[in-house]
Structure 1
Amino acid sequence: MKARYMNRPGTSASPWWTKDSHADRRPFLIGRNRIQSALRNYFGRRDFIEVDTATLQVSPGNETHLHAFATQALAIDGRAAPLYLHTSPEFAAKKLLAAGESRIFTFAHVYRNRERGPLHHPEFTMLEWYRVGETYERLMADCADMLKLAAETTGTRHFSFRDMQSDPFAEPERLTLAEAFDRFAGIDLLSSVATSGETDREVLAQAVIRAGMRVAIDDTWADLFSKVLVEKVEPHLGQGRATILCEYPVCEAALARPSARDPRVAERFELYACGVELANAFGELTDAGEQRRRFEHEMAEKARIYGETYPIDEDFLSALAEMPEASGAALGFDRLAMLATGASRVDQVMWAPVAEVLA
């Protein structure tokens, strides 16, 4: 079902709060609530504790391509210090693991600038959960369970988005990045990654050219990796059944620990259905020194590309040194609700979307 206010050619959209627009969206919103309730029950039956993390943080995260909303904390005497709306509750959640919690989850409102479209919104809901002492393979099972639960809750037999369909009851396909690059682009990805984790831009560039793709002179290894992933790989993921895309190169998994099986890759996976990325999960890195090195590298790249950086949360690094071995996942809850209810945009499953001020 599509809301009427989204389908009036030649006219400007009605506000989401008009009675007709709200009536069109309301079935999606009720479906969203039911899925959220079912997921809370899912975690409750498994002895998880729901936590509520602060939105304001000293650092919004330190990934190159994530953009935050900035503000200030002001004292009565006029002194000011920067604060940011978090892009994820991850730093705060891991501090709770360091404090002694072992199974936690949160439905957190998070904020990302420079993002708006059918699958993106500047404010959205992220479901994050963490398991101390458990592997990231356990999180893969959680993800499969959640797809089934969302479908059962809304009474749908399949998810669809644009021209793709996915069976939420089928066991997800597990595919490594190396397998995906070979299958969909004919590229040997790991031939450009050393056991130290260092990457060879020229090796990957030549492979990308042989695959028929354009390479710009200033493309870095990371640029080429992203180009192949977006253009050649992602359009095929989650077709027919969900895909778990795993074993990312270490340099593409800033908060994940290296794999014991192959030091070139990390314990990171992403969940896709109908070509839509739903979740991102890690076997968590707990080496504070290595985490600092990765953050500094990411911020150097951010400065090079965007001319800005974010501070490193020193409190987080201190907590990381105390954090036990754990695995954690972040799921875009609005996207899951969109697929499960049959909505065509994430803002159709948001009770009160953010105003479009840059239209």
Structure 2
Amino acid sequence: MDWQPSASLEALRQRAALLQRTRYFFARRGVLEVETPLLCSAGVSDPAIENLAVERGTSLARPRYLQSSPEYAMKRLLAAGSGPIYQLARAFRDGEAGARHNPEFSLLEWYRPGFDLGQLMAEVAELVLEFVGERPVEYIAYRDLFLRELDLDPLLAPPAALEARARAALDVGDLAGNRDLWLDLLMSHLVEPALAGRGLCFVYDYPASQAALARLETRGEVSVARRFELYVDGVELANGYHELTDAAEQRRRFAADNARRAQHGQPLREADDYLLAALASADGLPDCCGVALGFDRLLMLASGINDIRQTLAFDWSRC
């Protein structure tokens, strides 16, 4: 058994320095650092993410889930009047391991009451540039990015046209699915690689079907999700939302996620009733924007490391 660390001592020193500078970044802005539980009664409903579950224990009357993000608990703090908050959290996702993924990883997540999406993107850029040095910064709508790179309108093109474009460029075999499957495939295999070497690229206004926990807004003849993703030289680094505050809509989205899970044969996830109660409370979740940023990936970009395992004291294979 290889008991040695997967990261060099220099990489561990860089991690410690990055943590210190991150805390200073938020302290200067009056954003409160918080800690929330890692083991909770509800898992995430998103079909694209699987939680790790703890099934048994002397204090467990029912399964608990290692959190894939501290989002639900942090929103409860916001509803309780915390004001702007951030967290450097451990997070867990099943089935993700490799050069850019580890089942246990570090997330930097923060929420800004009163911010719009543009203000949050600007703050994210300020943080990232502080660590990776000067790079170009671009802001582009999801629709405009597809039109630029593929000459294809992702919001209006029929699923058959998206599938045809994917099959023309990629070997997808007998793969079948809905428009979001083809959009994800085109994004990951054709659009994202085009962002390599372009510095920071904020892609915003995603298709409404990919809203997750973001608000929807109308853009002409279509609705879009008020969310963004940040790519740095082609590496996906952060995911941000103008946060949904409506409890009834949140409950509907939990149900829709479970319907998709049932279609794919995935285990269903109970709605987080604590979050729903917070959203439905007298004051509820304040109007805010929030973002989750992969801290290990930020260290990769800041240090020139090209394998996430080399940023971790012990990667998944050594635990």
* C-alpha distance in 1 between matches for 2:58 and 2:97: 33
Q: Please tell me whether the aligned partners of residues 185 and 211 of structure 1 are also in contact (alpha carbons under 8 angstroms).
A: no
Identity %: 35
Structure ID, larger Rg: 1
Q: Please tell me whether the aligned partners of residues 3 and 318 of structure 2 are also in contact (alpha carbons under 8 angstroms).
A: no
Q: Which residue of the other structure, out of 219, 226, 230, is the alignment partner of 1:267?
A: 226
* C-alpha distance in 2 between matches for 1:261 and 1:147: 29
Q: Which residue of 1 aligns with 2:192?
A: 234
Is 1:149 matched up with 2:107? no
TM norm structure 2: 0.91
Distance 1:216 1:100, change over 3 A: same
Question: What's the offset of the Cα at 1:203?
Answer: 5.4
Deviates more, 1:89-98 or 1:136-145: 136-145
Q: Which residue type is aligned with residue 319 of structure 1?
A: A
Is 1:33 matched up with 2:16? yes
SS in 1 for 2:24: helix
Q: Which residue of 2 aligns with 1:92?
A: 73
* C-alpha distance in 1 between matches for 2:148 and 2:117: 24
Question: What's the offset of the Cα at 1:114?
Answer: 0.2
Is 1:63 matched up with 2:46? yes
TM norm structure 1: 0.81
Q: Which residue of 1 aligns with 2:105?
A: 124
SS in 1 for 2:223: coil
Is 1:177 matched up with 2:142? yes
Q: Which residue type is aligned with residue 112 of structure 1?
A: R
Question: What's the offset of the Cα at 1:41?
Answer: 0.5
* C-alpha distance in 2 between matches for 1:44 and 1:238: 32
Q: Which residue of 2 aligns with 1:282?
A: 241
Q: Which residue of 2 aligns with 1:106?
A: 87
Pairwise CA RMSD: 2.2
SS in 2 for 1:116: coil
Q: Please tell me whether the aligned partners of residues 186 and 211 of structure 1 are also in contact (alpha carbons under 8 angstroms).
A: no
Q: Please tell me whether the aligned partners of residues 205 and 215 of structure 1 are also in contact (alpha carbons under 8 angstroms).
A: no
Is 1:328 matched up with 2:290? yes
Q: Please tell me whether the aligned partners of residues 198 and 234 of structure 2 are also in contact (alpha carbons under 8 angstroms).
A: no
* C-alpha distance in 1 between matches for 2:50 and 2:170: 31
Q: Which residue type is aligned with residue 192 of structure 2?
A: E
Distance 1:184 1:320, change over 3 A: same
Q: Which residue of 1 aligns with 2:211?
A: 253
The gaps in structure 1 that reach 5 residues or longer are 1-12, 152-167, 193-199
Q: Which residue of the other structure, out of 260, 282, 289, is the alignment partner of 1:301?
A: 260
Q: Which residue type is aligned with residue 200 of structure 2?
A: A
SS in 2 for 1:265: strand
SS in 2 for 1:97: helix
* C-alpha distance in 1 between matches for 2:275 and 2:197: 38
Query: Larger relative CO (CA 8 A, sep 6+): 1 or 2?
Result: 2
